[in-house]
């Protein structure tokens, strides 16, 4: 199983823990992630100011995967949504594709359609399957109480995702976490946005949105949060301290990537999973799983 | 917020919007407020209210909408769009309004900075040698520190 591995911008610069743990998990499961050096930004952060340019950037990246004859596997939910949306809108020949191809011609590229884009979690569920993943677990995580955060663009807009999961009643992440034996705590506001896209516009609004979820998760009695997007992680992990000081709260809630939880169950060590790079310390919570 | 003053309405604004991606179905809005009730931003700051923005746009309050700060508070989470019983692509509509606001000269500093960085460097967080050193230490492959393609795709004449 081979995919063009789309890292996007945030992960290689700020979320190397996600990248490291994803590569380890992929390796264990026989997923071949091919690095494509010339990938650029997916275009998502350009959408608000200039949708047309965002679409050109998305299509450029699809072309590079097309040249290699590979589908794309993505770790970031915003990248997943942006690239899937562009692939969806350019899937058929017509004036829209012609218009984008005219722009791409400056880089000597043409997009013909057919590249599929999927989030890493979706690849795990659809191409590997729970039963096979289970066979690689050597540690039981049943003492870990987690709360999953889906975020928005992992599932939405649903019209581009061909029926993957259910926007109003999502299950995919709970399913993946639960196979490790970890407990998955339900909480109100599970589907709420992290607020991240508002961060460059109004920090207080963005942090207020993130705070509501942290409150709900701590009230539900979870020991850790599990997520699949580096943007969301910036809000809950990197900015947790700012939220605490801004609103006089105290959470100390470790924020783990799905791949770190799966990797933990597979027996990888702290460093292999980049757990030393998580901002909220995980050492105490996970001490029983390491020598 | 102040009362809406319809004397300043631009009757063509609705038509202008319905011709563009994201605006096609806004006339179908029957004011059920599902969007506003679903919005995580409205929940913490009611100066952002998707229903109100749609109504303002339909009434033709072009300048009030495109020069506003509030349109920029949309987090593009799609909660409203997924629940709209009338099939209005509300999130795409908000994106359309933001794009039009930029053309009208209204763009928050943070959004401008993002755009300029991406169009200049091809990434929102450009990678330097120091980043690649840290990556090498973690046994991760290097990432290019510059992007030629972005210069070809977005030559100064096009911007």
Give the residue range(s) of CATH 1.20.1050.140 domains in chain A: 2-120
| Residues B139 and B86 occupy one common structural domain | no
The pTM assigned to this predicted structure is 0.97
Subunit contact A14:B125, Cβ cutoff 8 A: yes
Structure tokens at A255: 């924020």
pLDDT in tens, chain B (159 residues): 567 788 889 999 999 999 999 999 999 999 999 999 999 999 999 999 999 999 999 999 999 999 999 999 999 999 999 999 999 999 999 999 999 999 999 999 999 999 999 999 999 999 999 999 999 999 999 999 999 999 999 988 776
Mean local confidence (pLDDT), A35-64: 97
The number of distinct structural domains making up chain B is 2
Mutation to test the B interface, candidates A4, A7, A13, most B Cβ within 10 Å: A13
Distance CA A196, CA B76 (A): 10
We report the CATH number of the domain holding residue B23 as 1.10.1060.10
What's the domain range around B142? Answer: 109-153
User: Is CATH 1.20.1050.140 correct for A2-120?
Assistant: yes
Per-residue pLDDT, averaged over A13-30, amounts to 97
Task: For chain A, give the percent of residues with pLDDT over 90.
Answer: 99
Q: Which residues of B touch A37 (CB under 8 A)?
A: 143-144
Contact between A16 and B115 using a beta-carbon 8 Å cutoff: no
Is the Cβ pair B111, A40 closer than 8 Å?
Answer: no
The answer on B26 and B95 residing in a single domain is yes
Which pLDDT tens digit goes with each residue over A95-130?
Answer: 999 999 999 999 999 999 999 999 999 999 999 999
Q: How many CB pairs under 8 A join A and B?
A: 155
Q: Which residues of A touch B145 (CB under 8 A)?
A: none
Mean pLDDT of chain A: 97
What are the residue ranges of helices labelled H in chain A?
10-14, 16-29, 51-68, 77-89, 95-104, 120-123, 130-134, 172-178, 203-219, 230-233, 240-247, 258-266, 283-286
Tens-digit pLDDT profile for residues A245-258: 999 999 999 999 99
**CA dist B74 → A3, A200, B16 (Å):** 33, 12, 21
CB of A160 less than 8 A from some CB of B = no
Whether residue B63 is found in the same domain as residue B10: yes
pLDDT above 80 for A282: yes
Report whether CATH 3.40.50.11810 matches the domain A130-289: yes
> For the segment A195-246, what is each residue's pLDDT rounded down to a tens digit?
999 999 999 999 999 999 999 999 999 999 999 999 999 999 999 999 999 9
pLDDT for position B2:
67
């Amino acid at each position: 199983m081979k995919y063009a591995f789309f890292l996007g911008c945030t992960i290689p610069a700020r979320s190397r823990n996600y990248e490291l743990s994803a590569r380890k998990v992929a390796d264990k499961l026989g997923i071949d992630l091919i690095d494509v050096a010339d990938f650029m930004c997916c275009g998502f952060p350009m959408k608000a100011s200039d949708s047309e340019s965002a679409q050109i950037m998305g299509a450029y990246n699809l072309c590079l995967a097309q040249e290699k004859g590979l589908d794309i596997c993505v770790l970031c939910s915003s990248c997943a949504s942006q690239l899937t949306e562009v692939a969806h809108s350019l899937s058929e020949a017509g004036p829209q594709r012609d218009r984008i191809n005219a722009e791409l011609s400056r880089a000597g590229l043409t997009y013909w359609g057919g590249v599929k884009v999927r989030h890493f979690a979706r690849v795990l569920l659809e191409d590997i399957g729970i039963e096979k993943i289970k066979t690689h677990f050597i540690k039981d995580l049943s003492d870990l109480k987690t709360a999953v955060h889906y975020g928005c663009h992992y599932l939405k807009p649903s019209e581009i995702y061909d029926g993957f999961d259910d926007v109003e009643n999502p299950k995919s992440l709970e399913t993946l976490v639960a196979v490790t034996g970890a407990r998955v705590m339900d909480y109100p506001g599970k589907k709420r946005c992290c607020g991240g896209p508002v961060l460059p516009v109004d920090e207080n609004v963005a942090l207020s949105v993130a705070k509501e979820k942290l409150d709900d998760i701590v009230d539900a009695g979870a020991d850790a949060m599990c997520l699949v997007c580096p943007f969301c992680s910036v809000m809950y992990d990197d900015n947790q301290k700012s939220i605490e000081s801004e609103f006089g709260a105290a959470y100390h809630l470790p924020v783990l990537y799905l791949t770190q939880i799966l990797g933990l169950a597979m027996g990888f060590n702290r460093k292999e999973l980049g757990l030393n790079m998580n901002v909220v310390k995980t050492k105490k919570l996970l001490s029983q799983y390491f020598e | 917020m102040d009362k809406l003053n319809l004397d300043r309405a631009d009757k063509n604004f609705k038509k202008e919007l319905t011709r563009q991606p994201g605006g096609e179905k806004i006339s179908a809005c029957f004011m059920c407020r599902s969007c506003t009730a679903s919005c995580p931003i409205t929940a913490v700051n009611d100066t952002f209210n998707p229903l109100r923005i749609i109504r303002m746009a339909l009434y033709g309050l072009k300048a009030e909408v495109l020069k506003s700060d509030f349109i920029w508070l949309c987090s593009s989470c799609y909660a409203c769009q997924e629940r709209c019983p009338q099939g209005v692509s509300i999130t795409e509509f908000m994106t359309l309004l933001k794009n039009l606001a930029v053309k009208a000269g209204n763009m928050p500093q943070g959004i401008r900075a993002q755009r300029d960085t991406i169009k200049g460097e091809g990434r929102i967080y450009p990678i330097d040698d120091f980043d690649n050193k840290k990556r090498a230490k973690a046994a991760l492959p290097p990432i290019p520190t510059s992007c030629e393609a972005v210069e070809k795709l977005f030559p100064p004449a096009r911007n």
